[in-house]
Structure 1
């Protein structure tokens, strides 16, 4: 019998959605010095030899936006430790470029083993498309971390002028600025991935070409906010808490939530270097089980206040907790005369109106590839190769195995790798069985 099969892990955690049992007579721990929250001891679990992880150590990178919440909660509430991963190190990344560089190096070289990613970064890194010297660093996509939690923020000087969800006057304003030689300036946090795609879709649906009508550039979130304060940035696309922060700071408003652009859309993902996963398949599933429990805990809205306090702590986001509290409940003070109060529009982590959030649908991977072709980021023949790349990178099979070991209800484990036809706010549909038809239907594109 291995050491892990004999060992019990006494962990700090709250009751999980799958039934952690509290130790009788436990008085709890003192308040955490970072978050000020009170945590409790839960009963240890015996880990069977068949599930005992090969290593207890992994280093995961994250960017301080709400997409990282499952990783942070899994560590802080003890869900990683519960499944034997007692030495999970979370490493805050200065930017998405830094995360890419650090996963190239790997934890052994002072970098990271994997972590939180915008899409399709794991595929692009695996194919050597965005790495130094085009080196191929194979990665495995393991789980979707969340849906929603992103927005398009616009400088307050445009409030009330029709730069809104449907861009009522956007095309006219952008055209006038272009004629005067003073292009509308917008930003995202990294090129050719989620937050670039969200703002591009929004602009394209409003008749604006992001590659010719405006100046669209990558800028770190914090710098974008600083630029908006000085009046040198008109709009940006990024994750909470940044869009909402500019509303609270009265320097802008939110033209759109990504939940309005594409309800229940795929957002960010957990992906790890393939060499680490291949060497440590049981540890990988232990990590997945920890993430799944954290996602279930997060989707209990009674836990959202505590979650906000943990994330806002100086070790993680280091910002006022109220910037997170209301958006976590689906309450958005949008500015421009709009408010939203709808939990289905909040960041969700385990389930949404269409079913599983955590499961990594291959059909969503295909949408990101199709958008990459749309904007000329990848050549048109990519769509003929996409399935092979997706099958190599997307390890939904490991997600399924981990879910079954965790005891997830069969109804919560998708039976297909496709979520089917997706519908966007402008009425456009994406059928993963016919991505070419989707491309053909789009008015503004390069491909």
Structure 2
């Protein structure tokens, strides 16, 4: 298996907790002056921004904002949207910032701004404040399984799959691997949740490894992993290359779950509040464009281009339209589990969703249990900027959430997450690795 993000993959939980524990009390990160507290004119402070992305279809709003001229429409005429080789590279380039040849913002796994802000996943645990400005999409990820297990037709119920993995491990004496894209990221959380809900301990029964999204199919082909979790087009490409099949879409685990975010370095947001809002408006308009069914074929074609995903259109278009052939005989047209870019409040960054990701990162020992999550979310999540941008775009009041919480969330295995009581949720989980404070 290729290991392009060795530092992230090998990061010890001890160093993670050491770096994050400093946030156990409020105010340990330098106070950020809120945008809402500063009097500003309407002129753009800059017309430039450098944004990163990974070759995935949930980055489509950034591709569309560039290709369809939405950035320019809002005065941001010098925006560079740059491909990143891995989520580790995205992290490192955000830490650098554009002034040091890095990036100002990115299409990013929702937990990463928190892991970077706390220093939990950065070199030497350096804390670099990052702001989440929008959610880019809901759902749209998949868990795929190698054709070696085709007869099992693995789905939400993975108990037989777990037995097969154990048998393989005992027979070969070698670890069986589940691949995700970044420790503590969304794909890591979906894979762990699915396995643990089926009684498979993701720390003991299987080896969880880090592989950049564009390298998933190639690594599955050479037998580097037995299952992986990633966005499109890599799950459908796996089927087209007759290497594996789709076990489930992640919205089957948690309907319309939050996924990627649009995030910027907090110092960029502070220095350029109007430019930040202009970038956000452009991306929000692109999300509306991506959501419209009549635009989906064009969005797929844009995604397939060399400068973006650089993959065959046939690997992209069906699932972008919401049509899923799981590769097992199961076929769903216009699936309710398809990715949402704007519908169902997909763009609004609910703070309650950020709290779930922090809670799951605590569950698996990536973040300490005494973390002041309320204070941290207030620093990172800038839903206030989203609301302002939405109003200025003319988004109807009914499409602007009245609360920062989507309320109680329910999962496929019957578990319930109440944002008002995350401890009760944690206590209900049988497999967890919470570290001592």
Alignment length (residue pairs): 394
CA offset digits 1:144-193 (Å, max 9, x no partner): 00011210111101012253221141232223234332332110111111
Deviation at 1:343?
Answer: 4.1
Gaps spanning 5+ residues in structure 1: where? 1-48
Distance 1:97 1:366 in 2: 22
2:354 maps to 1:365: yes
Q: Is the 8 A contact 2:216 2:234 kept in 1?
A: no
CA offset digits 1:77-115 (Å, max 9, x no partner): 111111111111001000011111111111011110011
RMSD of the alignment, in Å?
Answer: 1.3
Distance 2:255 2:42 in 1: 36
Match of 2:367 among 378, 393, 408: 378
2:201 maps to 1:190: no
Counterpart for residue 109 of structure 1:
100
Give the 4+ runs in structure 1 shifted more than 6 A.
none
Counterpart for residue 58 of structure 2:
67
Counterpart for residue 291 of structure 1:
283
Q: TM-score, normalised by structure 1?
A: 0.86
Distance 1:277 1:267 in 2: 22
Match of 1:394 among 347, 358, 381: 381
2:69 maps to 1:78: yes
Using CA pairs under 8 Å that are at least 6 residues apart, name the structure with larger relative contact order, 1 or 2.
Answer: 2
Distance 1:122 1:344 in 2: 29
Q: 1:24-423 alignment to 2 at 5 Å? A: 50-180=41-171, 181-352=173-344, 356-382=345-371, 385-423=372-410
Q: Is the 8 A contact 2:120 2:367 kept in 1?
A: no
CA offset digits 1:385-431 (Å, max 9, x no partner): 01100001101000001111111100111111000011111111111
Q: Is the 8 A contact 1:330 1:343 kept in 2?
A: yes
Q: Is the 8 A contact 1:170 1:206 kept in 2?
A: no
* 1:74 match: secondary structure: helix
Deviation at 1:231?
Answer: 2.5
Distance 2:169 2:335 in 1: 39
Counterpart for residue 5 of structure 1:
none
Gaps spanning 5+ residues in structure 2: where? 1-39
Q: Is the 8 A contact 2:196 2:431 kept in 1?
A: yes
Q: Is the 8 A contact 2:153 2:328 kept in 1?
A: no
* 1:58 match: secondary structure: strand
Deviation at 1:50?
Answer: 4.5
Q: TM-score, normalised by structure 2?
A: 0.88
Q: Is the 8 A contact 2:55 2:213 kept in 1?
A: no
Which one has the largest radius of gyration? 1
* 2:331 match: secondary structure: strand
* 1:335 match: secondary structure: coil
Q: Is the 8 A contact 1:62 1:115 kept in 2?
A: yes
